Amino acid sequence: MKKVLFVVTSHDTLGNTGKKTGVWIEEFAAPYYHLSDAGIKIDISSPKGGRPPIDPMSEEEQFQTEDTKRFYLDKELQESFSNTLLLSKVSQDNYDAVFYPGGHGPLWDLAEDKHSIALIESFNAHNKWIGAVCHGPAALKNVMGADGIPLVKGRKVNGFSNTEEQEFKSTDIVPFSTEDMLKAHGGLYSKADNWKEYAVEDYPLITGQNPASSRLVAQKLLEKIS
């Protein structure tokens, strides 16, 4: 059986706004069910282990999908989501690919987390696919290839766009722009219109732009590991 590791944020504070953030739940649920319904075994990990925070805005009615509704009623998944594995204890040895959902949280923790950085570098070193969506690609910020240069350099990449960040009114809140970071590290960044489904692949990376792109990244990932 093929196995994929999901890595989610443990960070729950949206800068100094006093508001909460965390995992954008559609970006977790849509890929999870696309892969698990295809017979893929999924483990979930996070920097702090235990139950990760969910971005409260992602739980608002306007952002609900069939996948998110299914998530809230799925007792088995709720159990594993509430008991995520400690990121420092997981290894690429046990998995065929890794996937990073977004939400703003990764900008603060996964972008700088030494265990996450080492994990992605290990997946790359063992020729395994790395998927990420929306702010998930923030986790690539400090990841280097075997040659010591940024993993994204010279590769087609994608992530939450500056215009989407502006529309979200979070440009002055986030510690860095996902789009600008990918470009600054030599990534060949491209994007679609705001909130439209869009993902690109350039081995070993599959990256998607926004919540609407979550399932597309999972589809591409499934194709690669199947």
SS3 (DSSP) at 112: coil
Over residues 136-159, mean pLDDT: 97
Q: Which single residue is written with the structure tokens 């590991």? A: 225
Q: Look up the domain containing 10 and give its range.
A: 3-225
Over residues 28-39, mean pLDDT: 98
pTM attached to this predicted model: 0.98
pLDDT in tens, 148-192: 999 999 999 999 999 999 999 999 999 999 999 999 999 999 999
CATH code at position 216: 3.40.50.880
Do residues 29 and 58 lie in contact, with contact meaning Cβ atoms separated by under 8 Å? no
Question: What count of other Cβ atoms lies within 10 Å of the Cβ of residue 155?
Answer: 22
- The torsion of the CA quartet 151, 170, 109, 150, rounded to 10 degrees, works out to 10
Question: What is the rounded CA–CA span in Å between residue 215 and residue 124?
Answer: 22
What's residue 54's pLDDT? 98
Overall number of domains in the chain: 1
Question: What count of other Cβ atoms lies within 10 Å of the Cβ of residue 182?
Answer: 25
Over residues 127-154, mean pLDDT: 98
Over residues 136-145, mean pLDDT: 98
What's residue 123's pLDDT? 98
